[in-house]
Amino acid sequence: MTTNDATTASTAEQRGRTLNIVLWVAQVVLAVLLVFFAAPKLLSDPSTVDGFDALGLGQWLRYAAGVCEVGGAIGLLIPRLSGVAAMALVGLMVCATLTNLFLMPGAAPVAILTVALGVGFGLVAWGRWPRTKALAASLRS
């Protein structure tokens, strides 16, 4: 191995380490935000109850959304599941964004938040793609 090859390998290793640290910080921050947003749903905050009543789909959806958010937060913190959890949370944020835009009048500012969270989950899913592929391969065999 030449000096140039060693330098390139060292630089790539450092970039990989830096990306891993950035992803973990993002995953922890996103997990904390998810629990923060799930709490009113699971603790029956009156404004949250009223918001889900306005949808007309029943309170089961409030509980389901809260449980999915807490489950996703836990999944983000488990190394093998972090990529899969992030992909599932992208789907949840797409549903939340569409709900806020089309079924809840005046909830456009909340839709901006769900889009931002969805982008964050998408970046985590992209960064954790090698782990997700490895998990899928291990499940196939």
Contacts of 100 (CB under 8 A, 6+ apart): 107, 108, 110, 111, 114
pLDDT per position as a tens digit, 3-14? 566 666 677 687
What does residue 131 show for φ and ψ, rounded to 5 degrees? -65, -40
Residue 26 confidence (pLDDT)? 97
What are the tens digits of pLDDT across the range 64-111? 999 999 999 999 999 999 999 999 999 999 999 999 899 887 888 889
Q: How many residues are given for the chain?
A: 141
Query: Pick from 16, 33, 20, 15: which is nearest to 120 by CA?
Result: 33
pLDDT digits (tens, 9 = 90+) for 25-55: 999 999 999 999 999 999 999 999 998 888 8
Domain ranges (residues) in the chain = 23-140
Tell me 45's DSSP state: -
Q: Which residues contact 41 (CB under 8 A, 6 or more apart)?
A: 48, 52, 62, 63, 65, 66, 69
**Tokens coding 33:** 């935000």
Q: How many Cα atoms within 13 Å fall on the side-chain side of residue 55?
A: 18
The answer to whether 86 and 76 have CB atoms below 8 angstroms apart is yes
